[in-house]
Amino acid sequence: MMGHMMGPTMMGGHGLGIGPIWRFDLTDDQRREVYKIQDELQKQHCGLQGKLLDEYSKLRELNMADPRDPKAIGAVYRKIFDVKRQKIEATIAAANKAEQILTKEQREQPKQWRRSRAGGHMIEMM
């Protein structure tokens, strides 16, 4: 899994909507900065993943109880969703930071790639 996450996309295997890093004509300095952002994001995600595992363990225990406590289970799910939200926000912040490293022309490239994959039609994703 770690090898995949360190792959050629802009921010590892997460895909940030700005396209694979190898498709950009980046300078060596740009590439170093993007990899630095990727490393920081991976560290954040690893810490958050540990929190998720802790919450899933709690959830397993709560689901084995007889009777199960809906409020306690709901509280653990609330924590799980919060950690997942934190991961999403960290990914978006990292993508924004990486995009600032790109030139205006480089930032336009993913939009062109998406248009070409959509057969020339822009597809709005919700």
Torsion sign, CA atoms 49, 51, 57, 62: negative
What is the pTM assigned to this prediction? Answer: 0.71
Exposure letters 62-76 (e unless 16+ CB within 10 A, then b): beeeeeeeeeeeeeb
- For residue 21, what is the DSSP state? G
Residue 6 pLDDT exceeds 60: no
> pLDDT higher for 36 or 20?
36
pLDDT tens digits, one per residue of 25-56: 789 999 999 999 999 999 999 999 999 999 99
d(CA 34, CA 98): 6
User: Does 67 sit behind a cis peptide bond, omega within 30 degrees of 0 on the bond before it?
Assistant: yes
